[in-house]
Amino acid sequence: MKTFYKLAASVVFITSTAFAQQQHIVPCITDEATKLYFATHPEEKARYDKEMKEAHFAPEHMNELARNNGNNSVNANNTVYALDTIPVVFHILHQNGPENVPNSYIYQALAEINRVHTKKTPDSASIEPYFSSVYGANNFVFQLATKDPSGNCTNGIIRYYDANTNWNQTQYSNFAYTWDRTKYLNVYIVKNICAGTPCPAGSSGGIIVGYTYLPGTVSANMDAVVYNSSFLTGTNARSLAHEFGHWLGLSHTFGSTNAPGTCLSGGNSDDFLSSNPPAVATTGVVDDTPKDAGIESQCPASTPNTCDVSNYANVQNIMNYSSCPLNFTNGQIHRMHNIMFSTTASRSNVLTAANKIATGIRNPQPCIPIPYFHASSTIVCSGSTVTFSDSTTNATVTAWNWNFPGGTLVSGYTLTDSMPKVIYNTPGTYAVSYTASTSTGSASLTKTSYITVVSYTAAYTTNFSEGFETASVPGTDWSISSTAGANWMVTSTAAALGVKSVMINNLSNTTSDTSILTSPKFNLSTIGSPLLTFAMSYQQQATTNADKLQITVSTDCGETWASKWAHSGSALQPSSVIGQSTSAFIPTPSQFTTYTVNLSSIASSTSAMFRWTFFSGASSVGNNIYLDNINVFNSTTVGIENIETSIGLSIYPNPSLSSINVAFNLSENHHISIQVADMLGRIVETIPVRQYTGGESIVTIADKVSYQSGIYFVNIDIDGQRIAKKVIIQ
C-alpha cells in the first residue's frame, strides 16, 4: 500500500552559496547524457530496457535477501541489508589548477557519501517523522582500492595532467583511464563539464555538477561517474552520493527529464518505483516514491504532488534536486541491491569476496607511500600565502612532515599538517621537502626551485628585448618548471638573431609532459600601447604529432592565468619549416617565424607576467622547439627589435667585475641617454642625453660610480624610444 506524507524543510544545502551567486547550478545531466548516447547508439536502448526489467527478478539477489532475512521474503519494507563494500578509484584530470584537489578532499567526500548510504548523517533526525517508515540504510560502503588492476599498490587516487579536465560530455573517448568496471567504481574528477566545443567556452546552461550512466547503458570504458572538482567538500559531496545512486541503478525521483518542476505525462515523471512498470510492485519492490514533478534548489516545508494529488513529493530524497538531500527509500534501496546482485553491467562481480581481495579492500597489502605534493601556486608575490596539498600515491598517508626554507607557517598550522599554509615574504626561489609516512614505512621528496617569490614591483617599465645571449634560464628574469620530461634551456645550436635561443629537446621528451618558461614582470601601463612579439621554430616528427605551445598572462602575481595565444599540431610548425623529420631539428635563422600577441586588454596592468607553456603530445611527441627574440614594446613606435638593429647595440663584458661598455654602431645620428637602475628601481647612474654621430661609440657605465654586486637594468633612450637590458656586477 502506498503511504506518503508531508516533508519538513531540512537544513542541508547541496550547492555552495558562492557558486549559486555566480551562475546557475545544474546538479546532474545523467538523463541528457543517456538520451544523447541512445540517439547515436539505438541498438543499446533495447538491450538496456531488457536488462532493467530482468534486474527486478535477479535470482542472485533473491538468495542474498534470504541470507539477510533468514527466509525468502522480498518485502523491502522489512529488509535490513548487511554492510557491503564497493571498491572505488578516483581519476583526477587536471592542469595544475585547483581542480587538482588534494587527497583529503577525496577522503572527505567518501566519508560524507558513506554517511548518506548508511543512514548516519548528523541531520538524519530531521527527516519528516511521518516519512521515516520508508527511510532506510542502503549499507553499501565505498572504499578506495589499495590494489590496481595489475595487483600493484595504489591508494585509489590517480592523477593525470590532461586537457580533458575541461570535460566535453559528447566526446566518449575522454574515458581513457577507466579501470575494469567489473572490479571498480570509477570516478573522474574534472574542472568543468560541458557539451560544447570548445569546452568550457562552448558550455551553456550553468555549472554542471556531475553525471553518469545507468547500469547497462554504455560500453565498459564509459561506465564511470564524472564529477566537478568544486563539489567535493562538506555536504556538497551529497551530489556525488546522488551520482553513485545513478551508478547503482536509480533514476531521478521526477523521472526522465532534467527540468524539475513540471509534471510530465505517462511514466515520464516516474523513477520506476511506482506504477511503471506495474509488474514491479508485485515482485517485491516497495512502491514508496510517488510520481513527482521534482524540485530544484529549494526545500519547502510541504510540497503537494501535482503528479499524484493523493500523495506528497519526496522532497528530501537524494535523487531529487532539492537543497535538502537526505534519504533513500526502502524501495530505492531494494532496487540498488537488485542491480548490484544482477549480471547487469557485470555489477555482481564487484561485490564478490574474490574481487574484494583482488582490489585490496579486504586483506590490504602493506605498501610504502610514493610521496607527492602540489601547491596552490608556484609563482607568488612577496607576502602571499601558499597552500600545500598532499597528493601521495601508492598508499594512504597517516603522517606528514614538511620543510619550507624561505617560508613561514601561517598561524595555526604545523609542519605535520596534511595541508599546511605558508607565507613567503622575500623574493627568491625556494625548495620544498616532504616526507609521507604510514605504519609500513616512509619516503621523502624534495622539489628544488619549486616556489618562485617575486616582488610586487615590475622589473621592467620600458621596452624590453630578450635574445638569451647573456640571460640564464633559470635565472633572475626567467623561471622554468616541468612535470616530468625535458625542460626549457639555453642553447647555442640555433638562433633567430645572435647565436643563442631557448629550446626544449622534445625529440627525447616524454609524452604528456608540460614545460613552462615564465618571464619577469612588466609595468605595461608605462610602455604605452604594448605588444608582445617572439620568434619560434618547431618541426613535427609525424603529421599526427599534437604538441602545443600556449602563451598565458597573469596580472595578479600568478594567481590566475589567461590565454593569449596558442598553436598546436601541424599549425605549430611554421610555414618556413618544410615536412617532418625524425632527426634532431636545428633550425636556420630563416626558419624562425615572428608572432605578435596583442596586449591591449591588459595595457593598464602594472604587473604582468607571461608564460610559454609547451605540452608534448599525449600519444607521441614531435621534434624540438625553439624560442628567441622576445620583445615587449610600444606598438606606436618602431619595433624594439628594429631599434637594436639600427643602433648596432652591444653590451660587454656582462657579467663584469667592474665597468661595462655600452656600444653603438650607428648608421646615422641619434640622440641617446642612459640610466642605470637597481633591482628596487632606484637610479644609480645617469648618462645625460647627447647626439651621437654615425659610426661606433662606446659609453662606459660603472666606471666613475661604485656599484655593489648585483643585478642592474640599463635603460637606453634612443630618440624618445626606450629599451632595457640587464647587466650583472659581480
pLDDT-derived band at 264 (thresholds 50, 70, 90) equals low
Which of the four pLDDT bands, split at 50, 70 and 90, describes residue 726?
Answer: confident
Query: Sign of torsion, CA 238 242 245 247?
Result: negative
**Higher model confidence: residue 22 or residue 356?**
356
Q: Are residues 24 and 139 in the same domain?
A: yes
708 and 577, same structural domain? Answer: no
The predicted pLDDT at position 300 comes to 64
At 560, list the grid cell.
590566475
Q: Are residues 127 and 230 in the same domain?
A: yes
Would the pLDDT of 16 be above 50?
A: no
Q: Is the pTM of this model over 0.75?
A: no
- The answer, yes or no, to whether residue 616 has pLDDT greater than 60, is yes
pLDDT of residue 247: 95
Q: Are 324 and 315 in contact (CB under 8 A)?
A: yes
What are all long-range contacts of 647-655, with beta carbons under 8 Å and residues at least 24 apart? 647/672, 647/718, 648/696, 649/716, 649/723, 649/725, 651/470, 651/714, 651/725, 651/727, 654/470, 654/727, 654/728, 655/470, 655/727, 655/728, 655/729, 655/730
Q: What are phi and psi of 643, to 5 degrees?
A: -60, -50
**CA separation, residue 600 to residues 553, 604, 605 (Å):** 12, 8, 10
Query: Band of the pLDDT at 107, cuts 50, 70, 90?
Result: very high
Mean pLDDT over 560-576 rounds to 90
In this prediction, residues 445-454 reach a mean pLDDT of 90
In a domain, residue 290? The reply is no
Residues 523 and 444 in one domain: no
Q: Which residue has the higher pLDDT, 505 or 377?
A: 505
pLDDT attached to residue 100 = 93
One domain, residues 100 and 217: yes
Mean pLDDT of the 692-716 span: 82
State which H helix or E strand residue 631 sits in.
strand 625-634
Angle between helices 30-40 and 42-55 (to 10 degrees): 130
CA dihedral 122, 124, 128, 132 (to 10 degrees): -160
Residues 704-720 have a mean pLDDT of 80
Number of CB atoms found within 10 A of residue 690's CB: 11
Looking at residues 525-552, what average pLDDT do you find?
93
- Band of pLDDT at residue 622, cut at 50, 70 and 90: very high
Domain count, the chain: 4
Q: Domain boundary residue among 430, 453, 476?
A: 453
Measure the CA dihedral 451/456/462/465, to 10°. 0
d(CA 592, CA 666): 26
Q: Are residues 69 and 183 in the same domain?
A: yes
Reference 530, options 579, 448, 464; nearest CA is 464
More confident residue, 265 or 519: 519
C-alpha distances (whole Å) from 432 to each of 374, 410, 452, 613 are 10, 16, 11, 23
Centre a 10 Å sphere on the Cβ of residue 333 and count the other Cβ atoms it contains.
Answer: 28
pLDDT above 70 (res 282): no
Examine the domain organization and report whether 264 and 166 are in the same domain: yes
Who has greater pLDDT, 270 or 282?
A: 270
Task: Provide the total of helices (H) and of strands (E) in the chain, helices listed first.
Answer: 10, 38
Residue 453: CB partners within 8 Å, gap ≥ 6?
380, 381, 382, 384, 406, 424, 425, 426, 427, 428, 429, 430
DSSP state of 477: S
Average pLDDT for residues 17-31, to the nearest whole number?
66
Candidates 276, 340, 249, 334; CA nearest to 74 is 334
How far apart are the C-alpha atoms of 141 and 139, rounded to whole Å?
Answer: 6
pLDDT tier at 228, thresholds 50, 70, 90: very high
Give the position of cell 608575490. Answer: 381
Mean pLDDT calculated for residue range 549-554: 95
pLDDT at 459: 85
Please state which of the ranges 13-27, 128-142, 438-452 shows the lowest mean pLDDT: 13-27
Which position has the higher pLDDT, 251 or 213?
213
Tell me, yes or no, whether 73 lies in a domain. Answer: yes
Has residue 398 been placed in a domain?
A: no
Last residue of a domain, one of 590, 605, 636: 636
Q: What is the pLDDT of residue 242?
A: 94
pLDDT at residue number 63: 40
Average of per-residue pLDDT values in the chain: 82
For strand 683-692 and strand 670-678, is the pairing parallel, antiparallel, or unpaired?
A: antiparallel
Say what percent of the chain tops pLDDT 70. 81
User: 59-69 vs 330-340: helix axis angle to the nearest 10?
Assistant: 120
The tens digit of pLDDT for each residue in 500-516 reads 999 999 999 988 888 99
**What percent of the chain is predicted at pLDDT more than 90?**
41
Q: Which residue has the higher pLDDT, 11 or 107?
A: 107
Backbone angles phi, psi at 470, to 5 degrees: -125, -10
219 lies in the same domain as 236:
yes
Phi, psi of 233 (to 5 degrees): -100, 155
Question: What CATH number does the domain containing 693 carry?
Answer: 2.60.40.2550
Question: Residue 12: is its pLDDT beyond 60?
Answer: no
**116 has pLDDT over 60:** yes
26 shares its domain with 64:
yes
Q: Per residue in 292-330, pLDDT tens?
A: 656 666 676 655 556 665 566 677 888 888 878 888 888
pLDDT higher at 123 or 360:
360
Q: Which stretch of 47-61, 194-208, 271-285, 635-649 has the lowest confidence by average pLDDT?
A: 271-285
- Count the Cβ atoms, other than its own, within 10 Å of residue 681: 13
What's the distance, CA 289 to chain centroid?
38
For the residues 126-154, what does the mean pLDDT come to?
A: 87
**Same domain for 573 and 476?**
yes
Q: Would you say residue 292 lies in a domain?
A: no
Residue 374 within a domain: no
Rounded-to-10 torsion of CA 255, 258, 264, 270: 10
pLDDT range class, residue 612, cuts 50, 70, 90: very high
| pLDDT for the residue 458 | 87
The CATH code of the domain that includes 346 is 3.40.390.10
In this structure, the answer to whether residues 676 and 622 fall within a common structural domain is no
What is the DSSP code string of 128-181? -GGGGGGEE---EEEEE-SB-TTS-B--SEEEEE-GGGEEETT-GGG--S---T
- Dihedral (CA of 495, 496, 498, 500) sign: negative
Domain membership flag for residue 295: no
| 421 and 468 share one domain | no
Give the pLDDT band (50/70/90) at residue 645. low
430/474 Cα distance (integer angstroms): 13
pLDDT of residue 20: 38
The 10s digit of each residue's pLDDT in 390-427 is 999 999 999 999 999 999 999 999 999 999 999 999 98
Among 26-30, 186-190, 422-426, the range scoring the smallest mean pLDDT is 26-30
Residue 291 to residue 264: CA distance in whole angstroms: 9
pLDDT at residue 11, as a whole number? 31
Length of the chain: 730
For 158-183, what is each residue's pLDDT tens digit? 999 888 999 988 888 899 999 999 99
pLDDT in tens, 320-366: 888 788 888 888 898 899 889 888 888 999 999 999 999 999 988 88
- pLDDT band of 542, cuts 50, 70, 90: very high
For the four alpha carbons of 235, 236, 237 and 241, in that order, the dihedral sign comes to: positive
Quick check: is 1 in a domain?
no
293 within some domain? no
Domain hosting 85: range is 17-268+326-358
How far CA 119 is from CA of 37, 79, 131, in Å, comes to 34, 14, 14
CATH code, 560: 2.60.120.200
Q: Which of 319, 354, 149 is nearest to 243 (CA)?
A: 319
